[in-house]
A and B are shown apart, each in its own frame.
Chain A
């Protein structure tokens, strides 16, 4: 790959890469490549061979895989003696019959194999023959047999090609594939293939199918790191290490489509300190020409339907589409069939007669929402990306972020200092490389008026805290305590501070509890809260935890201890009181909007405690756009509710599945842990 930035044509046309570039960058789809190559290598084609179809949606790497296989055959000294790979043009220009297909194949063959020169001319002589189709294949086959050669046809967009053939041509092609030992087909197709035929489809039944799944986390990182190698930069490596949540959120929201991940690569590299949503926005510009073209190609009525589906994002039934477009249900159904056949829309079957539909290419949907929709539609994407980014943040970073957020919402004069201190403690416990990401993340979240806090982030005495932790880890408690007393501008009581250092920094629960209790004796509400939280996290002594949490909020109410109280109430199955706290103290716009981690935990715990209807009501009332902001949790809730909510649950886009599954697992675990 060149050292300049990649550009749209490459991404959408891997055939423009040189052979060495393609091979060098082929890091995903190794399983499929090896399996298919083994099939080819271990068969001398003395008998009719196994034909293969590679299926996957747009951008999953089908064309790249076909090309990789063709190169592998060319490079194989044993195979290339007798097997000729022929790669057909992607768009199959001008082919509308089987005979034309054979002629086109002959022409492709002539370009790469001197022994075949003249075959297409011979075929042309029979153009007006009644049995032209049969004849053209016979000529091709004879040419191959006479030179002891066989061909392997790599055909892209196979579904589009065979769609043009009539029934008889399908039957003839099937006969050929069943009986000829001169030709093997390795075809690629999007999922449109399944909906292509109105009549009997024995045609595909003897292809072996390889489905290209969307990339999981490891594979996506592998791809990005490889690109980093090609560009000779370490940026992506750093981003994957320091802000893995950024990469992961984007992988999930774009459904792990390789082409999209490649697009995102350069954005990552150019925007080291960005966030996922911003990354997304930057990427969209690069695909606008393609997607705009796709929309413009549609006639007005299908355009209207696509518009409605895109803005809704979740799947919709025909009735709802009809209502919003003001087009009759019958016409909508007919248009949906057309859109489905062309891979623009996917149908999700439900338990009823009424199925639901969503846009197949999720990145296209995102593009639409951000580029074409109003702010409220753009926000849908932003909310989800923020949720995913947080959900995917590794634990060690998560604690820091949540603590910072919590600290921000303290309504006391100590708020500023709590921020510094908390930050310092967590900052110390992180490696240098993570500190950078912490500050970057913190800046983003500090969007409150007290922005002077942002400027003061770096201005605290890290060294002293470093030293204190070192001493405590060594066991030199006396010296550590002495140092604590010398800290300037601290506002917390020494025992509380030491308790925190033990809890967050040294991770010694016993010692933390000891010092918290000392602080509690002096009426320190922060210590009450933190000890309650410690007990909660360790799943110990729930009644004591509840007592502490209550005492803390009686002394002074703030976000962190209200959160702790609610969680501990639920743990103790005090459902009504927990709901009261929620309603009176925590169900506020600023918390819903900014405190994603805390609110998520609360929802998850309510669900773990089987309070489905309560949570469902909160979502359906949709105050503060809560359903959009916490969409994955909403769908996880529907899973637990089951029954009549199953259809609603199926409206979830495929990009959410992985996250929703994780949330469901987490909730189930919570239910077990806090039963």
Chain B
């Protein structure tokens, strides 16, 4: 039997690797009544955590997951939220009278998950949402509203409407969180593959999210990674790997996120199958790593994401910093400043570096003045395909 890997899609059910301490910490914060901002770069497993919480709620809580990546309008966001909460109602007929009360004198042409369709008039879904919460009966449970790609939504509004609209949107959400009616029945978890803190900081709107409890999702530990490989990925597989090779593999990955672990295991299995190998040794793992960085589809987005976020000198600055780091292994804050000077962006370069840190490119965890790539795999890819 082959190996069991999930690449890219959120891990659910048996494929999800439980991290009890992490999950307990999240529940502890939820139980304290706080709203959470889940913070981590892409591919670390944030969505998988949300799915897990959704499938395994604690007593007294009812999780509700929604993704708002495509939303680029405030009313649309609240319509989507409204639609999801609407599903919690017990039967449309029972509550149709109450719905009619919600929409006032306006004529309803349709009610469904997509929302309430009125004739001639656009419904204000923020208002409708508040009213909906008033009539919502959750049998004493509290709703945990998990909004995936919320920062992307903010960026969409900023791009497709105006920055003022985006600011208004953030303020509205803050209002929502603080509304007495909502607070009683719901809490929020916000998640995104881009850093909300960076997004709002650029807009000078940090106050709109200062009520959120920021919770960082760390990469896997070595033990967790080993368990993931041996107990999940290789479960029932004819391919087996010795502990020594697992250690070697993990030492090469360094930044232990499930995505890289699974990607390299996939390539290892491919070599194992194609070449009919009897044993997996370090050389095979090295080759698997080389093969995995050839997957442009998986890695190109690291570059393309930067191209979208940064333009002109900002992009040139980012590319120079990362090229330097991929070649020399590290870059100092002095060297970074030097590049910033060269590209005339000394005013904003720190924000840019924060974005790179949040989005998982580099970190300065060992020494605040020295940065290096989070992932040697990403570094290898960057050096081969971008810097050269």
**Chain A: residues with CB nearer than 8 A to chain B?**
31, 34-35, 38, 42, 46-51, 53, 55, 131, 134-135, 138, 168-169, 171-172, 174-175, 177-179, 193-194, 197, 199-202, 204-209, 211, 349, 351
Contacts and interface: CB of A to CB of B under 8 A. Distances in A.
Contacts of A211: 295
Given A205-B8, A206-B9, A208-B8, A194 B70 contact: no
A34 B7 CA distance: 17
Interface centre among B274, B296, B305, B309 (most CB of A within 10 A): B296
A48 B15 CA distance: 12
Contact of A50 (B7, B69, B115): B7
B12 interface: yes
Contact of A209 (B43, B148, B295, B309): B295
Given A135-B114, A171-B70, A349-B388, A48 B12 contact: yes
Given A194-B296, A206-B7, A208-B8, 19 more contacts: A31-B274, A38-B1, A42-B4, A47-B13, A49-B9, A50-B6, A51-B8, A53-B297, A131-B115, A138-B112, A138-B114, A169-B70, A175-B69, A177-B9, A199-B308, A202-B42, A205-B298, A206-B10, A207-B297
A206 B193 CA distance: 13
Given A47-B13, A138-B114, A179-B67, A202 B193 contact: yes
Contact of A178 (B47, B115, B274, B301): B47
Interface in B202-235: none
A172 B70 contact: yes
A38 B12 contact: no
Nearest to B193: A202
Interface of B: 1-2, 4-10, 12-13, 42-43, 47, 51, 65, 67, 69-70, 72, 112-115, 148, 152, 156, 193, 266, 270, 273-274, 295-298, 300-301, 304-305, 308-309, 385, 388
Interface centre among A135, A169, A172, A200 (most CB of B within 10 A): A200
Nearest to A350: B388
A47 B12 contact: yes
Nearest to B16: A47
A204 B9 contact: no
Contacts of B270: 31
Interface centre among B9, B13, B193 (most CB of A within 10 A): B9
A445 to B, nearest CB: 38
A55 B266 CA distance: 16
A200 B274 contact: no
Contacts of A49: 9
Nearest to A55: B297
Contacts of B12: 47-48
A139 to B, nearest CB: 10
A53 B47 CA distance: 21
B256 to A, nearest CB: 19
B308 A31 contact: no
B300 A38 contact: no
A46 B54 CA distance: 14
A138 B113 contact: yes
Contacts of A35: 2
Contacts of A42: 4
Contact of B114 (A134, A197, A209): A134
A135 B113 CA distance: 9
A51 B193 contact: no
A34 B2 contact: yes
Contacts of B43: 205
A50 B48 CA distance: 13
Given A168-B72, A174-B69, A209 B301 contact: no
A168 B47 contact: no
A178 B10 CA distance: 7
14 contacts: A35-B2, A46-B13, A48-B12, A134-B114, A135-B114, A169-B70, A171-B156, A178-B10, A178-B148, A199-B308, A201-B304, A202-B69, A208-B266, A209-B7
B351 to A, nearest CB: 18
A199 B69 CA distance: 14
A528 B162 CA distance: 91
Nearest to B80: A134
A201 B70 contact: no
B10 A205 contact: no
Contacts of B10: 48, 178, 206
B114 to A, nearest CB: 6
B6 A178 contact: no
Nearest to A169: B70
Contacts of A55: 297
B304 A175 contact: no
A51 B152 CA distance: 22
Nearest to B274: A31
A174 B42 CA distance: 15
Interface centre among B5, B8, B112, B305 (most CB of A within 10 A): B8
A172 B304 CA distance: 19
A211 to B, nearest CB: 8
Contacts of A175: 67, 69-70
B72 A202 contact: no
Nearest to B259: A205
A134 B51 CA distance: 22
Nearest to B155: A200
Contacts of A205: 8, 42-43, 297-298, 301
A194 B9 contact: no
A460 to B, nearest CB: 46
Contact of A201 (B4, B156, B301): B301
Contacts of B8: 50-51, 205-208
Nearest to A193: B297
Contacts of A46: 13
Nearest to B47: A178
Interface centre among A55, A172, A193, A206 (most CB of B within 10 A): A206
9 closest A-B pairs (Cβ-Cβ)?
Answer: A206-B8, A171-B70, A47-B12, A172-B70, A200-B308, A208-B7, A171-B69, A175-B67, A206-B9
Contacts of A47: 12-13, 51
Contacts of A50: 6-9
Nearest to A32: B270
A200 B301 contact: yes
A53 B296 CA distance: 13
Nearest to B148: A178
A48 B51 CA distance: 10
A145 B300 CA distance: 36
Contacts of B266: 208
A177 B8 CA distance: 11
Contact of B298 (A31, A38, A209): A209
Nearest to A47: B12
Contacts of A193: 297
B297 A194 contact: yes
Interface centre among B7, B65, B295 (most CB of A within 10 A): B7
Contacts of A138: 112-114
A201 B300 contact: yes
Nearest to B69: A171
A349 B385 contact: yes
A38 B1 CA distance: 9
Contacts of B69: 171, 174-175, 202
Contacts of A168: 70, 72
Contacts of A53: 297
Nearest to B4: A42
Contacts of B51: 47
B2 A38 contact: yes
B2 to A, nearest CB: 5
A179 B65 contact: yes
Contact of B67 (A178, A200, A209, A351): A178
